[in-house]
Structure 1
Amino acid sequence: MLCRLLGLLLAFGLIAGAAQAQAQDRPLRVLYLSQSVGFVHETVRRPTGAPAGSGLAPSELALQAMARDSGAFTVELTQDARDITPARLAELDVLVFSTTGALPIDRQTWAAVVDWIESGRGGFVGVHSAADTALDFEGGQQAYVDLVGGLFDGHPWTQGTPIRLANLEPAHPLAAMWPDETDYAEEIYQYSGFEPGRVRVLQALDMAAGPLRRPYPVPVTWVRQVGQGRLFYTNLGHTPSTWNDPRFRRQIVEAIRWTGGRTEAPAAPNPTVQDAAALAAFAAVEGLSSEVSPADPAATAAAIRNLQRLHPEKHDGDPAAWDQAVSRLRAAFR
């Protein structure tokens, strides 16, 4: 009897192991949501006049090509968030959002999405305007920001503005395809509700270059652990040309593989690295020596980040408070 029981347990173990191996071998199942509730980016605009279901947006075509060329995933396309249901989540591995406005997702469905991610059953990839998105219920915007990690707070770097990308984690699998000091042109957001202690920033703006520089840090790409699940966000992806860039495509493929649990990469927050980027941004724009370290780097970096909300060009900026804060910070570098 004991031998028979051990045999059954071994058989069940082999079956379970085979099923797990088979699940790891199959392509990840991705649902790409590119709904716009308000402003419509060209990357998600489907051609007008095309028969229903036949015309796809540039980003949809690009994601299909990534799926085909990599073999890492299959992708379903939708521009209606109501297609995301608890039952549908059970058939998916990764959600990819390139969205704007208050999506028609109710509180219960969003709770199911968060549980799906936190349990490790699913992952989330946000592209560009995924940070300019909310949910259509009371408190939905905060609930969404709590997951993604930041909310659109203007884009001083408008479409086509020359920028330079700083790679804060050159060896990270989700950033290695973008060498440090890569010159580019994109629309770049800055964020409210961003907390350095919650995310690992991989890319940021290099404030030592470009025609538009600000003396505070602007993250571009980050990852975070969400319970047992994973989240990736990049601000890149405003234009069709970015979606066609081999580096961007490789990054999105790697993000899908990582959030889908097929690869490993660090996700622990890196606030010290982010603090160093904040100090470097202020020193570069203000013409200060980068070799001078303030007495309290973490506190100084926090004060530098606070400059964003005071900037005179913001609709709610405070020029007087800005000048005072900059003066205090300059003194901290002496």
Structure 2
Amino acid sequence: MGRFLTGLLVMMCLAACAGAPPQTPPLRVFYLSQSVGFVHETVRRPADGLAPSELALQEMARASGAFTVELSQDARDLTPDRLADLDVLVFSTTGALPIDRETWAALVAWIDSGRGGFVGIHSAADTALDFEGGEAAWTAFLGGRFDGHPWTQGTPIGLSNLEPSHPLAAMWPDGTAYAEEIYQYAGFAPARVRVLQTLDMAAGPLRRPYPVPVTWVRQIGEGRLFYTNLGHTPSTWDDPRFRHQIVDAIRWAGRRLHAPVAPNPARQDVAALSAFMLAEGVTPSSDDGGLRSLGNDIRGLQALHPEKHQGDASAWDAAHGRIRAGIDR
């Protein structure tokens, strides 16, 4: 009888296990924090330990259980063969990384196929690749490149949330007051990305009459890319909202979380118009639906700012005047 009961229990256990859904393994993350250019405090390793961002990402992995993380400060560790053992790349990097054409082609193909995803943090936009044409290739991949940071470390800012219910932005309520170093971007193509957060030009001491995206997502073939400008300081890496966003960005890039990714250029045009009006303190004389065509002109002001032309404001003033005339008509 004892043997019969034991056998029955074993069969019941096997049947229960067979009917249980398989457990999803954690995503395999490779975190690269190499600095070929400026070294941020978030990635600076002390003589006897890891950098603040490395420790933070390890803590995020343990707390969430969503991923494991391998740490590196040498892009040469990221070989084409190595990609087969990974799910998501996270970069917080600067300068021309030692990634050759073969490795870059393999990396893009890996993402394009949907086998891998990418999460870029802060200075990932101040990054390039160490081969001819590498800067342009990286810019086209990420969606934009560093074009100065008028909002320096500790500058009070506000964060506008263009999609408050989006899973990768909902943790930052619209109008959140913050202090960060914020980049503006060259080579930015609104039609290729879905912008989730921008600077709120009604907040802080420094306001510019053009939009400054902070966070966006984009589709690359079957793969997914997330980028946020946040993450300049260790205090940001310690912020629960930032950690929540990065964990969910990793989950999304690894295809464990659903979130809209289709480009939103029309919404970005509205944000551009709003940035101009808030910075200028003006109100349109007609419905903004007829003014969205000004979005590209407003975005174009960034490249014309006098600080980029040795103080010459002639082109800025002319373009600025045309936009004001369009709004005041």
TM-score above 0.5: yes
Counterpart in 2 of 1:238?
232
Contact 1:44 1:57 in 2 (8 A): yes
Max Rg structure: 2
| 31 and 302 in structure 1: CA distance in 2 versus 1, 3 angstrom threshold | same
- Cα separation, 2, equivalents of 1:167 and 1:115: 32
CA apart distance, 1:293 = 3.9
Unaligned runs of 5+ in 1: 1-17
Instruction: Specify the SS of the correspondent of 2:307.
Output: coil
| 87 and 180 in structure 1: CA distance in 2 versus 1, 3 angstrom threshold | same
- Cα separation, 2, equivalents of 1:60 and 1:291: 51
Counterpart in 1 of 2:27?
28
**Quick one: which of 229, 232, 249 aligns to 2:243?**
249
Contact 2:36 2:95 in 1 (8 A): yes
Contact 2:270 2:288 in 1 (8 A): no
Equivalent position amino acid for 1:39 in 2: F
Counterpart in 2 of 1:42?
41
User: Deviation digits for residues 41-72 of structure 1, max 9, x if unmatched?
Assistant: 00000003x2xxxx100000000000000000
The 5-angstrom pairing of residues 15-94 of structure 1 reads 22=22, 25-48=24-47, 50=48, 55-94=49-88
- Cα separation, 2, equivalents of 1:136 and 1:321: 34
Counterpart in 2 of 1:106?
100
Contact 1:309 1:316 in 2 (8 A): no
CA apart distance, 1:209 = 1.2
Unaligned runs of 5+ in 2: 1-17
Equivalent position amino acid for 1:37 in 2: V
- Cα separation, 1, equivalents of 2:231 and 2:279: 26
CA apart distance, 1:294 = 5.9
TM-score (norm 1): 0.90
Instruction: Specify the SS of the correspondent of 2:259.
Output: coil
Contact 2:139 2:187 in 1 (8 A): yes
- Correspondence 1:120 to 2:114: yes
TM-score (norm 2): 0.91
- Cα separation, 2, equivalents of 1:200 and 1:294: 20
- Cα separation, 2, equivalents of 1:172 and 1:33: 27
Counterpart in 2 of 1:131?
125
CA apart distance, 1:314 = 2.3
Counterpart in 2 of 1:304?
298
CA apart distance, 1:299 = 2.8
| 122 and 317 in structure 1: CA distance in 2 versus 1, 3 angstrom threshold | farther
Equivalent position amino acid for 1:36 in 2: S
Counterpart in 1 of 2:216?
222
- Cα separation, 2, equivalents of 1:78 and 1:295: 48
- Cα separation, 1, equivalents of 2:237 and 2:297: 35
Identity %: 74
CA apart distance, 1:86 = 1.0
User: Deviation digits for residues 172-214 of structure 1, max 9, x if unmatched?
Assistant: 0000000000000000000000000000000000001110000
Q: What do you get for the CA RMSD once the two structures are aligned?
A: 1.4
